[in-house]
Protein backbone atom coordinates (compact mmCIF):
# COMPACT_ATOMS: atom_id res chain seq x y z
CA UNK A 1 0.00 0.00 0.00
CA UNK A 2 1.05 3.64 -0.40
CA UNK A 3 3.20 4.83 2.47
CA UNK A 4 3.38 8.59 1.77
CA UNK A 5 0.41 10.66 0.57
CA UNK A 6 -0.17 14.36 -0.08
CA UNK A 7 -3.73 15.70 0.33
CA UNK A 8 -4.68 19.07 -1.21
CA UNK A 9 -8.10 20.21 0.01
CA UNK A 10 -9.13 23.66 1.26
CA UNK A 11 -12.10 22.65 3.40
CA UNK A 12 -10.96 21.53 6.84
CA UNK A 13 -13.79 19.04 7.35
CA UNK A 14 -13.20 17.35 4.00
CA UNK A 15 -9.44 17.42 4.58
CA UNK A 16 -9.68 15.73 7.94
CA UNK A 17 -12.22 13.25 6.57
CA UNK A 18 -9.80 12.14 3.86
CA UNK A 19 -6.94 11.81 6.34
CA UNK A 20 -9.09 9.77 8.73
CA UNK A 21 -10.06 7.37 5.94
CA UNK A 22 -6.43 6.99 4.87
CA UNK A 23 -5.34 6.40 8.48
CA UNK A 24 -8.13 4.27 9.90
CA UNK A 25 -9.48 2.38 6.91
CA UNK A 26 -6.42 1.95 4.72
CA UNK A 27 -3.56 2.16 7.20
CA UNK A 28 -1.50 4.92 5.64
CA UNK A 29 0.50 6.63 8.37
CA UNK A 30 2.53 9.34 6.61
CA UNK A 31 0.10 11.92 5.25
CA UNK A 32 0.73 15.62 4.66
CA UNK A 33 -2.01 18.15 3.93
CA UNK A 34 -2.25 21.53 2.26
CA UNK A 35 -5.15 23.95 1.86
CA UNK A 36 -3.76 25.73 -1.19
CA UNK A 37 -2.23 24.43 -4.39
CA UNK A 38 0.97 26.44 -4.06
CA UNK A 39 1.51 25.08 -0.54
CA UNK A 40 0.87 21.56 -1.78
CA UNK A 41 3.36 22.08 -4.60
CA UNK A 42 6.05 23.34 -2.23
CA UNK A 43 5.59 20.32 0.05
CA UNK A 44 5.70 18.02 -2.97
CA UNK A 45 8.84 19.64 -4.39
CA UNK A 46 10.66 19.54 -1.04
CA UNK A 47 9.87 15.85 -0.59
CA UNK A 48 11.06 15.13 -4.12
CA UNK A 49 14.30 17.08 -3.62
CA UNK A 50 14.90 15.29 -0.29
CA UNK A 51 14.55 11.96 -2.14
CA UNK A 52 11.49 11.09 -0.04
CA UNK A 53 8.82 11.62 -2.70
CA UNK A 54 5.09 11.30 -2.27
CA UNK A 55 3.61 8.25 -3.95
CA UNK A 56 0.05 9.55 -4.20
CA UNK A 57 -1.56 12.97 -4.59
CA UNK A 58 -5.23 13.39 -3.66
CA UNK A 59 -6.53 16.77 -4.72
CA UNK A 60 -9.71 18.76 -5.11
CA UNK A 61 -10.27 20.74 -8.30
CA UNK A 62 -11.54 24.05 -6.90
CA UNK A 63 -9.88 26.11 -4.17
CA UNK A 64 -11.01 29.29 -2.43
CA UNK A 65 -9.05 32.47 -3.10
CA UNK A 66 -6.42 33.43 -0.57
CA UNK A 67 -5.15 36.87 0.43
CA UNK A 68 -1.83 35.84 -1.13
CA UNK A 69 -1.46 35.68 -4.89
CA UNK A 70 -1.46 32.02 -5.90
CA UNK A 71 0.47 30.77 -8.93
CA UNK A 72 -1.56 27.57 -8.98
CA UNK A 73 -5.24 28.24 -8.40
CA UNK A 74 -6.80 24.86 -9.25
CA UNK A 75 -6.22 21.17 -8.86
CA UNK A 76 -5.52 20.95 -12.58
CA UNK A 77 -2.66 23.45 -12.20
CA UNK A 78 -1.28 21.38 -9.33
CA UNK A 79 -1.53 18.09 -11.20
CA UNK A 80 0.15 19.55 -14.26
CA UNK A 81 3.11 21.00 -12.37
CA UNK A 82 3.60 17.99 -10.11
CA UNK A 83 3.63 15.63 -13.08
CA UNK A 84 6.29 17.79 -14.79
CA UNK A 85 8.66 16.88 -11.95
CA UNK A 86 7.44 13.41 -11.02
CA UNK A 87 5.57 11.88 -13.98
CA UNK A 88 4.94 8.57 -12.22
CA UNK A 89 3.17 9.97 -9.14
CA UNK A 90 -0.34 8.55 -8.80
CA UNK A 91 -3.15 11.11 -8.77
CA UNK A 92 -6.70 10.84 -7.44
CA UNK A 93 -9.11 13.75 -7.84
CA UNK A 94 -11.64 14.16 -5.02
CA UNK A 95 -14.23 16.74 -6.06
CA UNK A 96 -17.87 17.75 -6.21
CA UNK A 97 -17.62 17.96 -10.00
CA UNK A 98 -19.92 15.30 -11.46
CA UNK A 99 -20.06 16.28 -15.14
CA UNK A 100 -18.94 13.19 -17.08
CA UNK A 101 -17.34 15.25 -19.86
CA UNK A 102 -15.08 17.12 -17.46
CA UNK A 103 -14.22 13.99 -15.49
CA UNK A 104 -13.35 12.16 -18.70
CA UNK A 105 -11.14 15.08 -19.74
CA UNK A 106 -9.10 14.64 -16.56
CA UNK A 107 -8.41 11.01 -17.44
CA UNK A 108 -7.74 11.70 -21.10
CA UNK A 109 -5.74 14.93 -20.92
CA UNK A 110 -4.14 14.83 -17.49
CA UNK A 111 -3.87 11.04 -17.11
CA UNK A 112 -5.22 10.95 -13.57
CA UNK A 113 -5.43 7.50 -12.00
CA UNK A 114 -8.71 7.77 -10.15
CA UNK A 115 -11.67 10.01 -9.43
CA UNK A 116 -14.04 10.21 -6.46
CA UNK A 117 -17.12 12.43 -6.36
CA UNK A 118 -17.86 13.97 -2.97
CA UNK A 119 -21.19 12.78 -1.72
CA UNK A 120 -23.09 10.10 0.14
CA UNK A 121 -20.84 7.21 -0.89
CA UNK A 122 -17.56 9.15 -0.99
CA UNK A 123 -15.82 7.27 1.85
CA UNK A 124 -16.53 3.84 0.38
CA UNK A 125 -15.53 5.02 -3.10
CA UNK A 126 -12.33 6.66 -1.82
CA UNK A 127 -11.22 3.43 -0.16
CA UNK A 128 -12.00 1.50 -3.34
CA UNK A 129 -10.20 4.09 -5.45
CA UNK A 130 -7.01 4.17 -3.38
CA UNK A 131 -6.87 0.35 -3.32
CA UNK A 132 -7.43 0.15 -7.07
CA UNK A 133 -4.89 2.83 -7.96
CA UNK A 134 -2.30 1.12 -5.76
CA UNK A 135 -2.91 -2.09 -7.69
CA UNK A 136 -2.21 -0.24 -10.93
CA UNK A 137 -5.82 0.21 -12.02
CA UNK A 138 -7.45 3.29 -13.50
CA UNK A 139 -10.47 3.79 -11.26
CA UNK A 140 -13.43 5.48 -12.92
CA UNK A 141 -16.28 6.90 -10.82
CA UNK A 142 -19.84 5.58 -11.23
CA UNK A 143 -20.79 8.96 -12.73
CA UNK A 144 -18.49 8.20 -15.66
CA UNK A 145 -19.01 4.48 -16.11
CA UNK A 146 -22.79 4.81 -16.03
CA UNK A 147 -22.68 7.46 -18.75
CA UNK A 148 -20.14 5.76 -20.99
CA UNK A 149 -22.79 4.26 -23.26
CA UNK A 150 -25.17 7.19 -23.02
CA UNK A 151 -25.84 9.13 -26.22
CA UNK A 152 -25.29 12.37 -24.33
CA UNK A 153 -21.75 11.45 -23.36
CA UNK A 154 -19.07 13.33 -25.27
CA UNK A 155 -15.69 11.66 -25.70
CA UNK A 156 -12.99 13.78 -27.30
CA UNK A 157 -9.92 12.43 -29.06
CA UNK A 158 -6.60 14.18 -29.75
CA UNK A 159 -7.82 15.75 -33.01
CA UNK A 160 -10.93 17.12 -31.31
CA UNK A 161 -8.74 18.77 -28.68
CA UNK A 162 -6.45 20.26 -31.34
CA UNK A 163 -9.44 21.70 -33.19
CA UNK A 164 -10.87 23.19 -30.00
CA UNK A 165 -7.52 24.68 -28.99
CA UNK A 166 -6.99 26.26 -32.42
CA UNK A 167 -10.54 27.58 -32.59
CA UNK A 168 -10.02 29.12 -29.15
CA UNK A 169 -6.96 30.94 -30.54
CA UNK A 170 -9.15 32.47 -33.26
CA UNK A 171 -7.92 30.45 -36.23
CA UNK A 172 -10.31 29.65 -39.07
CA UNK A 173 -10.95 26.12 -40.28
CA UNK A 174 -8.81 26.83 -43.36
CA UNK A 175 -5.90 28.01 -41.21
CA UNK A 176 -6.28 24.99 -38.95
CA UNK A 177 -6.24 22.68 -41.96
CA UNK A 178 -2.97 24.19 -43.20
CA UNK A 179 -1.45 23.74 -39.75
CA UNK A 180 -2.53 20.09 -39.60
CA UNK A 181 -0.99 19.48 -43.02
CA UNK A 182 2.26 21.21 -42.01
CA UNK A 183 2.48 19.10 -38.85
CA UNK A 184 1.49 15.90 -40.70
CA UNK A 185 -1.58 15.39 -38.51
CA UNK A 186 -4.37 13.36 -40.09
CA UNK A 187 -7.14 13.45 -41.06
CA UNK A 188 -6.61 16.95 -42.44
CA UNK A 189 -9.00 17.08 -45.38
CA UNK A 190 -11.41 20.00 -45.66
CA UNK A 191 -14.42 17.70 -45.46
CA UNK A 192 -13.06 15.85 -42.40
CA UNK A 193 -12.42 19.07 -40.51
CA UNK A 194 -15.86 20.44 -41.41
CA UNK A 195 -17.52 17.26 -40.12
CA UNK A 196 -15.46 17.28 -36.93
CA UNK A 197 -16.24 20.90 -36.13
CA UNK A 198 -19.94 20.38 -36.93
CA UNK A 199 -20.00 17.40 -34.59
CA UNK A 200 -18.42 19.47 -31.82
CA UNK A 201 -21.13 22.10 -32.31
CA UNK A 202 -23.79 19.41 -32.05
CA UNK A 203 -22.24 17.63 -29.07
CA UNK A 204 -21.94 20.80 -27.02
CA UNK A 205 -25.10 22.40 -28.45
CA UNK A 206 -23.11 25.49 -29.40
CA UNK A 207 -24.61 28.28 -31.49
CA UNK A 208 -21.31 29.54 -32.91
CA UNK A 209 -17.55 29.27 -32.45
CA UNK A 210 -17.45 31.81 -29.61
CA UNK A 211 -20.20 29.91 -27.81
CA UNK A 212 -18.40 26.58 -28.34
CA UNK A 213 -15.12 27.92 -26.94
CA UNK A 214 -16.93 29.42 -23.94
CA UNK A 215 -18.64 26.09 -23.20
CA UNK A 216 -15.50 23.97 -23.32
CA UNK A 217 -13.55 26.51 -21.27
CA UNK A 218 -16.29 26.52 -18.65
CA UNK A 219 -16.07 22.73 -18.53
CA UNK A 220 -12.32 22.92 -18.04
CA UNK A 221 -11.54 21.20 -21.32
CA UNK A 222 -9.26 24.05 -22.40
Q: Indicate whether 152 belongs to any domain.
A: no
Distance CA 168, CA 104 (A): 20
pLDDT of residue 104: 84
Same domain as 130, residue 100: yes
- Count structural domains, the chain: 2
Name the percent of the chain in helix, strand, coil, to the closest 5: 50, 10, 35
Q: What burial class does residue 164 get, using C-beta atoms within 10 Å of its C-beta: 0-12 exposed, 13-18 middle, 19+ buried?
A: buried
Q: Which of 145, 172, 196 is the last residue of a domain?
A: 145
CB 187 within 8 A of CB 159: yes
**pTM metric for this prediction:** 0.70
Examine the pLDDT at 10 and tell me if it is beyond 90. Answer: no
Same domain as 126, residue 35: yes
Q: What is the CATH number of the domain that holds 94?
A: 3.40.50.2300
Q: Indicate whether 150 belongs to any domain.
A: no
3-state secondary structure at position 96 = coil
pLDDT of residue 66: 65
Q: For the CA atoms of the chain, what is the radius of gyration?
A: 19
pLDDT tens digit string along 176-214? 999 999 999 989 999 999 999 998 998 888 899 999 988
Same domain as 193, residue 111: no
Distance CA 25, CA 31 (A): 14
Same domain as 163, residue 141: no
Alpha helices, H only, the chain: 12-20, 37-49, 75-85, 100-110, 122-134, 142-145, 158-168, 173-182, 190-204, 209-218
Same domain as 128, residue 36: yes
pLDDT tens digit string along 105-143? 889 889 999 999 988 888 899 999 999 999 999 999 886
Amino acid sequence: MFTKVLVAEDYEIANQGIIKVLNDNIGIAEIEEAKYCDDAYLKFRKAFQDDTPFQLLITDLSFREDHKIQVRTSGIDLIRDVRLIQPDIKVIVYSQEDRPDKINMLFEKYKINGYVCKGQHAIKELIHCVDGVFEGQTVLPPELTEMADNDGFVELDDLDMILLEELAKGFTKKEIRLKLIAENITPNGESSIDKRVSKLFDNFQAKNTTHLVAIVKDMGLL
